[in-house]
Every structure is written in C-alpha cells, then in structure tokens.
Amino acid sequence: MADSRSTTLPCGKEIRGHGGGIHGSASEAFTTRDARHSLAMNASSDWSNINGGVIEAEFCGK
C-alpha cells in the first residue's frame, strides 16, 4: 500500500492504513497485518478526533 502507515493500538494490535480527504471530509482505511480484519470509513472532518475512537472500537472492541 503506497504511503501507508503502521501503528500499534492501546490494546496491542498492529494495524496498517492510509487516509486522505478534502475540505469537510476525511476517508481512512485500515487492516490487520494478516488482512483478516479491515475497516474503511468516511467522516466529517469538522468533528475533531472522532476517527481514533472508531478505529480503537473496531479493532480493540472498546
């Protein structure tokens, strides 16, 4: 995946993903290293820091 980033969530799971956006809209996609679990989402970028909570809830079950 070009320009992807890797991060370890507070629950210990490592995910890789990529995001982008335009004024007012942000899109991101993430997957686990084994590609068995993935998430793609689009959100209003007017809501600050909502994406981190969604990503952690999806991959960590919180």
Query: What residues does each domain of the chain span?
Result: 5-60
pTM for the structure as a whole? 0.74
Alpha carbons 59 and 19: distance in angstroms, whole number: 17
In this prediction, residue 31 carries a pLDDT of 95
Query: What contacts 5, CB < 8 A, 6 or more positions away?
Result: 16, 17, 18
pLDDT digits (tens, 9 = 90+) for 5-51: 899 999 999 999 988 888 888 888 999 999 999 999 888 767 665 56
